[in-house]
Structure 1
Amino acid sequence: MDANDGFRELDRQECLGLLAGVPVGRIVYTRQALPAVLPVNFCLDRDGAVLVRTSASSELVSAIEGAVVAFEADVVYATAHSGWSVVVMGPATLVTDPGEHARLLRTGPRSWVPAPQEVFVRIAPELVTGRELVGGRTLYGVHLPS
């Protein structure tokens, strides 16, 4: 971290730990040759992969199957001018193994908008980066916690 920029780079374990504590993130992918961003609820799998449960017929599934995507989640404390952001990049694949699908039905994310036929999308955590805004601000002379 540059002493003057107010940011601290997070290591992989810190990033995954922060991701595990939030319920919603955003998938960044390409749709009709343009960037697209979609908020989704998710969870992390044992290996740090991001798991999303969605409708098998969703536009998201057809757009990201086999593509390299980015997944981002963050927490911002606007009053304190602090927070963190984590990005996971890697290929997105559908979970097709029946045993793995059965396991994820028990342990994976729950759909906030259930569909008749749902699938799990796994984003492999090939590159995990993050940073924390640690400079923060004070409110009426009191340093606010991040």
Structure 2
Amino acid sequence: MNSATPLIKAFRINAIISGAMLGSLFLYAVIVEVFRYRQITPPFSMPSLLENLRLVFVFLSFAVYFMINFFRKRILVKQLEDTPEVLIRKLSMAHLISLALAELPAVFGLLLFLLSGISRDYYLLMVLSIALFYIYFPRYSFWEAWSKVNEAQSG
């Protein structure tokens, strides 16, 4: 018999998806290393454009932290008519959106690498993505506390 509550089931699903998303960062690193090993060069070289693009991507990568907090606050707002199932869906959506946004710096880094051939671009932004994953990776203690607070406000 499976006695897992809906909260535990949703958490497990989110943890699996989150782990797969985190794994994709390392898949990108494999792509970077394969390109480096095979000495595949970028299709064109425009240093001034790449430097500007690098600055934009780095700025956007640091802005992701604020975007995540903005979206989490909007999604996790409790409405009076919210049922426990709706609250669990909101929590799941907030975590998945947070981690999707947390992956953006690594994607920016991969794009920079593909355009410039400089692996440092990927690895620096990957570290930022990993830090964001660490901050926003689902933790059951948070889910449980958030659920209890919102159930107490309902009752």
TM-score (ref. length: structure 2): 0.26
**Which of the pair is proportionally richer in strand?**
1
Q: Which has the larger radius of gyration?
A: 2
**Which of the pair is proportionally richer in helix?**
2
